[in-house]
Structure 1
Amino acid sequence: MVTLYITSTTPYAGKSALCVGLGRRFQKDGYRIGYMRPLTTAKTCIGECVVDEEAGSMQQLLGLADSASAIWPVSLDSVAVEGILRGEERDYVAVVKSAFAQVSRNKDIVLLEGGSRSSQGLAIGLAADLIAEMVDARVLVVAKYDVPAVVVLDDLLADKARLGKRMLGVVLNGVERNRLDYVRQLVVPFLAKRDIPTLAVMPMERVFSSVSIRELADALQGDIICRPDLAGELVENLMVGAMSVDTALTYFRHKLNKAVITGGDRPDIQLAALETSTRCLILTGNLRPNPLIINRAEESGVAILMSKHDTMTTVQIAEQTMSRTRFHQEKKVERFQRMLADTMDFDMLYQSLGLPTKQG
């Protein structure tokens, strides 16, 4: 059995996407896979079981049959953290070992999804290097390339120092297309000279930072009053309609697949937005739009979401939701799998893991 631990240098770097993409590729190649997220901090409820929301999505996306308690064994919520600070003892290492024994049973490959950085969990003995040693895992690090190159390099070199020979390599994710040549010609060779192979350089795709209209509605605690059947559609951009109607149409044409946030009392701006590539109108102030707007939106296939908040608050909440997008929509999964097939060096990955490539 092979164990691959996937961690990252920053939060929201693409670990979950990589777990799904690799997991499905392994399954396609005929391997039986398991998955575990040893340490979680974001929780929700499924039935009576308190679980990690992202890990719950992973269970569905990968068709996992293992129990929830095995897939996400340790949750560091505020109560658990306070207990640690007070000196209350719990053997978290033993909990993870027991859970791993369950998820690895009759599996060829087990994917472990780590925290937002390799040091997460150090306080309870569950940092990336400690877990990797415990379960004899190789470690793949995801680095989101949205900061200066020197920051990315420093983070990866620090991980290499922590993980040593267990660090299999790195995936550079979210690289702006005008920086791809720079990364391939300069960053990748620099890392290679320091024994950090690059398995993939993945370009930035707006769809991966998109959210569904339903997710925006949930975050804003708003109602979808027009075309609720489009709640699953993805929004890739946010625009604020606070300008004069003379400039609105030109402004809205700059971005595609967007949500336009504007006051519920601005039918002129709303009509301009409906003339462009708009997925959703978010109307602020809890003001119901003119029936003309609703009819036009129905015809154009545009959802209308009412927000009880003012425009500034609505923008803040929507931007925060976009920045913390989750990876569970099938459209994202399919697009990521295609990109992974184009960019990942699977020969290097399989060789590093000691796996023969199968044709599934």
Structure 2
Amino acid sequence: MVTLYITSLVRGSGKTALCTGIGRHLLREGKKVGFFKIVLRNQGTTSDSIDSDAAFMQRILLLEEPVEQVYPVLSDSSGPPNRVKEAFDQVSRGKDVMIIEGEANPDIVKVLGARAIIVDSTTESPGDALITAGRSFGDSLLGIVLNKVPEGMAEVVRNQAPAALSSEGMNVLAVIPENHALFTLTIGQVAEYVQGEFLNNSEKSEELVENLMLGALTLDTGPLYYERKANKAAILRSERSDMQLAALQTPTKCLVLSGRQALLPQIMNEAEDKGVPIIQTEDDIATIVSNIEDALVNNRFNQENKLPILTGLIEQYFDFPALYKEAGLTT
């Protein structure tokens, strides 16, 4: 059995997305894939987020094990590697490949006999922190993935990073450009974070919002303004029916309205005809924007409708032949 340990230096680097992409590829290759995420009590992870993430991975990777085995919550007191090993042994039976998501911990990697892949979200060449982390894993390090690289920097990083890290004995397995669609919110998440109420079309809550447009302060209220971005959430005041109608005449995923003024029948009818949900909240525009910004910062990769985007990125940029060779996997 091959064990891959996916880790990072900071949260939000893309560990879960990479685990998902690698796991899906291996499943298509006919491998029996298991997944295991180490959750420590002091990380502040809520039971709701654990349940949501675990249910997602169970569906995507076709896992049969119960949540408490896939996502064991462990104390971080003395000797965690041995307790991790006990939990790992329960869930790894009969698997060809085990994929583990966890914090950067060389001791756990050694105890599990795993090969580590470090995911680093970077805007420039690899820094000292990444090189130091790579060295700490020694021979257990399989490679580095540079993720969320801005499109304008991707080619430069792709040309320079492998040589820089190769001099340290580290392989670059992928340089993956940033793709904002992976970190967008669903309409339902938007409604949740702004504490809003669906006035219609709530069945579209799982659709993705690719852009945000703030119309409350603009002088241009016409469709030409709203045509600048497609598949957007337009954030507007509830009394601005002119802006609401203009947004509905362009590719809009939902309207987010501030205030409790009743909407004109014309707006509701147009939204129904176009299939555009309207979300209304008592919060002011500034609060709505702040809440959505917080949601984007803390957004997690756990929605099936993002899978095609992720799969395309992983298949295009990840060096699977190198993974197979270094990990001792057969095709």
Q: TM-score, normalised by structure 1?
A: 0.85
Deviates more, 1:262-271 or 1:348-357: 262-271
Corresponding letter in the other structure for 2:54: A
Q: Map of 1:243-254 to 2, 5 A cutoff?
A: 243-246=217-220, 249-254=223-228
Corresponding letter in the other structure for 2:92: S
Q: What secondary structure sits across from 2:58 in the alignment?
A: helix
Cα distance in structure 1, aligned partners of 2:22 and 2:139: 21
Cα distance in structure 1, aligned partners of 2:53 and 2:84: 18
Q: Kindly, what percent of the aligned residue pairs are identical?
A: 35
Q: Equivalent residue for 2:61?
A: 62
Q: Equivalent residue for 1:79?
A: none
Aligned-pair distance for 1:144?
1.3
Q: What secondary structure sits across from 1:214 in the alignment?
A: helix
Corresponding letter in the other structure for 2:59: Q
Whether contact under 8 Å (2:118, 2:134) holds in the other structure is: no
Q: Map of 1:163-182 to 2, 5 A cutoff?
A: 163-182=137-156
Whether contact under 8 Å (1:260, 1:273) holds in the other structure is: yes
Q: Equivalent residue for 2:9?
A: 9
Corresponding letter in the other structure for 1:43: T
Deviates more, 1:23-32 or 1:91-100: 91-100
Q: Equivalent residue for 1:258?
A: 232
Aligned-pair distance for 1:243?
2.7
Aligned-pair distance for 1:232?
1.0
Cα distance in structure 1, aligned partners of 2:274 and 2:302: 27
Aligned-pair distance for 1:31?
1.1
RMSD of aligned residue pairs (Cα, Å)? 2.0
Whether contact under 8 Å (1:245, 1:268) holds in the other structure is: no
130, 141, 156: which one pairs with 2:118? 141
Structure 1 residue 44 and structure 2 residue 47: aligned?
yes
Structure 1 residue 302 and structure 2 residue 276: aligned?
yes
69, 77, 95: which one pairs with 2:83? 95
Aligned-pair distance for 1:3?
0.6
Q: Map of 1:178-189 to 2, 5 A cutoff?
A: 178-189=152-163
Q: What secondary structure sits across from 1:13 in the alignment?
A: coil
Aligned-pair distance for 1:190?
1.4
170, 191, 207: which one pairs with 1:233? 207
Q: What secondary structure sits across from 1:226 in the alignment?
A: coil
Cα distance in structure 1, aligned partners of 2:243 and 2:197: 20
Q: TM-score, normalised by structure 2?
A: 0.92
Aligned-pair distance for 1:94?
3.6
Aligned-pair distance for 1:16?
0.8
Q: What secondary structure sits across from 1:256 in the alignment?
A: coil
Q: Equivalent residue for 1:29?
A: 29
Cα distance in structure 1, aligned partners of 2:174 and 2:265: 50
> Which string of whole-angstrom CA distances, capped at 9 and with x for unpartnered residues, describes residues 173-219 of structure 1?
12222222211112232122222211111122121011100111122
Aligned-pair distance for 1:90?
6.7
Whether contact under 8 Å (2:51, 2:67) holds in the other structure is: no
Corresponding letter in the other structure for 1:64: L
Give the number of aligned pairs.
328
Cα distance in structure 1, aligned partners of 2:46 and 2:83: 18
Q: Compared with structure 1, are the counterparts of its residues 287 and 113 closer, same or farther at alpha carbon in structure 2 (3 Å cutoff)?
A: farther
Q: What secondary structure sits across from 1:306 in the alignment?
A: strand
Q: Compared with structure 1, are the counterparts of its residues 233 and 288 closer, same or farther at alpha carbon in structure 2 (3 Å cutoff)?
A: farther
> Which string of whole-angstrom CA distances, capped at 9 and with x for unpartnered residues, describes residues 79-118 of structure 1?
xxxxx7xxxx675434322210111111111110113xx2
Whether contact under 8 Å (1:144, 1:172) holds in the other structure is: yes
Aligned-pair distance for 1:287?
3.3
Cα distance in structure 2, aligned partners of 1:288 and 1:188: 58
Whether contact under 8 Å (1:4, 1:112) holds in the other structure is: yes
Whether contact under 8 Å (2:56, 2:303) holds in the other structure is: no
> Gaps spanning 5+ residues in structure 2: where?
none
Q: What secondary structure sits across from 2:132 in the alignment?
A: helix
Whether contact under 8 Å (1:245, 1:269) holds in the other structure is: no
Whether contact under 8 Å (1:143, 1:171) holds in the other structure is: yes
Aligned-pair distance for 1:247?
5.3
Whether contact under 8 Å (2:151, 2:177) holds in the other structure is: yes
Corresponding letter in the other structure for 1:349: L
Q: Equivalent residue for 2:94?
A: 106
Cα distance in structure 2, aligned partners of 1:225 and 1:75: 43
Cα distance in structure 1, aligned partners of 2:159 and 2:221: 42
Q: Equivalent residue for 1:131?
A: 108
Whether contact under 8 Å (1:245, 1:272) holds in the other structure is: no
Cα distance in structure 2, aligned partners of 1:294 and 1:55: 38
Aligned-pair distance for 1:155?
2.8
Cα distance in structure 2, aligned partners of 1:241 and 1:186: 42
171, 179, 192: which one pairs with 1:205? 179
Aligned-pair distance for 1:347?
0.4
Q: Compared with structure 1, are the counterparts of its residues 267 and 142 closer, same or farther at alpha carbon in structure 2 (3 Å cutoff)?
A: same
